[in-house]
Amino acid sequence: MTDPVFVATMSGSIGIISSLLTISITPTLQHYFWKRQRREEIRLAVVEEINRLAAEFITNHIADPNFRPSNEFHQSFHIVSAKAKVLFSQQAFQDFKNMEQLIGPSHRGMLGPMADKGVHDFIERRDIALSSFYREIGILTLPER
């Protein structure tokens, strides 16, 4: 037969050990999950800013085929570009850079360094970049292209 004092001592010891483990592990786990959540919030804010700037550019370009982005626009774009570079994978950032290549002064309504791309090219590249970013954040679960 089992000694009741032994059972009581073991139960108490297990309870104390469990409490101590919970007290010591919980803050570490909470901090880990808080950091991950915060990182994803920052990443999402970057993607939203990229989308806003892309919409601003393409809307202005459609309204005026000779549109030239302002210095403030370029400054905002460089800020979000730097954030995207450090927060996302090299492939997602490259998809973003492919879109960025089309942002600049247009020539006879055409975009890109060779002035050989149109609005649809920009929109296609924007969609690819946003899909890459959203996939990495975990919002988009479609397979890669």
Query: Which residue in this structure is represented by tokens 């590249």?
Result: 125
Query: Does residue 1 carry a pLDDT above 70?
Result: no
pTM over 0.85: no
* Contact of 100 with 93, CB cutoff 8 Å: no
For 82-102, write each residue's pLDDT tens digit: 999 999 999 999 999 999 999
Positive or negative, the Cα torsion across 20, 22, 24, 25?
positive
The CA dihedral of 31, 34, 38, 44, to the nearest 10 degrees, is 140
Segments making up each domain of the chain, as ranges? 38-137
d(C-alpha 43, C-alpha 40), whole Å: 5
